[in-house]
Amino acid sequence: MTAPKLVLSDDQWRERLTPEEFAVLRQAGTERPFTGEYTDTKTEGVYQCRACGAELFRSTEKFESHCGWPSFFDPADSESVILRADDSMGMRRVEVLCANCHSHLGHVFEGEGYPTPTDQRYCINSISLRLVPAGS
């Protein structure tokens, strides 16, 4: 895995982020399902990393998965995220990180049968994202 472009100490991250944001973005926490601000959002725009502002996803790749978190079938650019094995919680998953600052975003799942072009579901915490509406 390549080194992050933005490197801050935990204290510096704590100054930038709320305690809830820090818990998810920097400590790989997860927000409760169906509670995030972007779970059901249909606003057109770009989803950025809440920690560093890097463009991660676009509303054109967002879809309704009814899983409790925003779901995307593809990142805005394949190099905007890093995927790595996550064997925590007694299961094998693939963690999604922001390539720019290595903040935790969520997980990606494959082969679930959603009618999307990639058959992938990037299950992303709302608190890891910031939506910039189209035209802003």
What burial class does residue 80 get, using C-beta atoms within 10 Å of its C-beta: 0-12 exposed, 13-18 middle, 19+ buried? middle
- CA–CA separation, 100 and 53 (whole Å): 9
Is the dihedral angle over the CA atoms 133, 22, 98, 30 positive or is it negative? negative
Active site residues: 123
Which letter does DSSP use for residue 87 in this model?
Answer: -
Cβ contact 98:49 at 8 Å: yes
- CA–CA separation, 128 and 31 (whole Å): 9
- CA–CA separation, 25 and 49 (whole Å): 9
